[in-house]
């Protein structure tokens, strides 16, 4: 993602990408970053609580876990 963002910044500087598109890309990247940050916080809390078996792999955190 970092490599892609740097490429978009360079394209913006060169004028080969519209600044509105670059702004939207930046907003999407911020949302992805926030999502990872949230998952890390959840994993930290679960680790501190001793729930090691319930920690999801980064990027695989279920949004709605149903119980059967």
pLDDT of 16: 92
Nearest to 33 by CA among 66, 10, 5: 5
pLDDT of 40: 83
Locate 19 and state its tokens: 């600044």
pTM (2 decimals)? 0.60
Query: Alpha-carbon distance 36 to 25, whole Å?
Result: 17
Evaluate if residue 67 carries a pLDDT over 50. no
CB 46 within 8 A of CB 55: yes
Q: Which residue has the tokens 């998952």?
A: 39
- pLDDT per residue over 6-45, tens digit each? 888 889 889 999 888 888 988 988 888 888 888 888 888 8
Locate 49 and state its tokens: 């609580």
């Amino acid at each position: 993602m970092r490599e892609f963002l740097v490429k978009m910044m360079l394209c913006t500087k060169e004028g080969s990408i519209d600044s509105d598109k670059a702004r939207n890309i930046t907003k999407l990247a911020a949302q992805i970053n926030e999502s990872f940050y949230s998952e890390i916080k959840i994993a930290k809390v679960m680790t501190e609580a001793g729930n090691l078996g319930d920690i999801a792999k980064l990027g695989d955190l279920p949004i709605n876990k149903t119980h059967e």
